[in-house]
Structure 1
Amino acid sequence: MAARIDHLVTSGTFSLDGGTWDVDNNVWIVGDDEEAIVIDAAHDPAAILEALDGRALRAIVCTHAHDDHVGAAPALAAATGARVLLHPADQPLWKLTHPDHTPDGELADGQVLTIAGTDLRVLHTPGHAPGAVCLYAPDLGTVFTGDTLFQGGPGATGRSFSDFPTIVDSIREKLLTLPPATVVRTGHGDSTTIGAEAPHLEEWITRGH
Structure 2
Amino acid sequence: MDFTHVTDRIGMLRFPVGQAYAVRLPAGGWALVDAGLPGYADEILAALDGDVRDIVLTHAHFDHTGSAAALAAATGARVLAGAADAPVVRGTAPGPEPVLQDWEIPVFEAVHANLPLPHTAPPCPVDVELVDGDTLDWGEEVRVVHVPGHTPGSIALHLPSSGVLFTGDTIANVRQLMPGVFNVDHERVLASFRRQAELDVETACFGHGDPIVGGAGAALREVALGLS
Residue pair 2:150, 2:169 contacting (<8 A) in 1 also = yes
Q: Which residue of 2 aligns with 1:199?
A: 222
- Structure 2, unpaired ranges of 5+: 1-6, 95-119
Q: Deviations over 1:100-129 (max 9, x none)?
A: 5432221111111112x1221110000111
1:89 counterpart SS class: coil
| Separation in structure 1 between the aligned mates of residue 211 and residue 64 of structure 2, nearest angstrom | 17
Instruction: State the identity as a percent.
Output: 40
1:4 and 2:12 matched? no
> Structure 1 residue 60: deviation in Å?
0.6
| Separation in structure 2 between the aligned mates of residue 107 and residue 73 of structure 1, nearest angstrom | 16
> Structure 1 residue 194: deviation in Å?
2.1
> Structure 1 residue 91: deviation in Å?
3.4
Give the AA of the match of 1:58. R
1:29 and 2:22 matched? yes
Give the AA of the match of 2:171. L
| Aligned pair partner of 1:52 in 45, 48, 52 | 48
> Structure 1 residue 52: deviation in Å?
1.2
1:104 and 2:99 matched? no
1:121 and 2:146 matched? no
Which deviates the most, 86-95 or 145-154? 86-95
| Separation in structure 1 between the aligned mates of residue 49 and residue 122 of structure 2, nearest angstrom | 30
1:169 and 2:191 matched? yes
Q: Deviations over 1:6-52 (max 9, x none)?
A: 122122xxxxxxxxxxx2x2211112471221110012111211121
| Separation in structure 2 between the aligned mates of residue 146 and residue 37 of structure 1, nearest angstrom | 15
- Structure 1, unpaired ranges of 5+: 12-22
Q: How does 1:55-74 map to 2 (within 5 A)?
A: 55=51, 57-74=52-69
1:147 and 2:177 matched? no
Bigger proportion of residues as strand: 1
Give the AA of the match of 2:70. A
CA RMSD of aligned residues (A): 2.1
What is the number of residues matched between the two proteins? 185
| Separation in structure 2 between the aligned mates of residue 101 and residue 54 of structure 1, nearest angstrom | 19
Q: Deviations over 1:137-168 (max 9, x none)?
A: 1222210001011232111145xxx1111011
| Segments ≥4 residues shifted beyond 2 Å | 91-102, 200-204
Q: Deviations over 1:43-67 (max 9, x none)?
A: 2111211121143x22110000001
- TM (normalized to structure 2)? 0.74
> Structure 1 residue 169: deviation in Å?
1.1
| Aligned pair partner of 1:79 in 71, 74, 80 | 74
Residue pair 2:166, 2:206 contacting (<8 A) in 1 also = yes
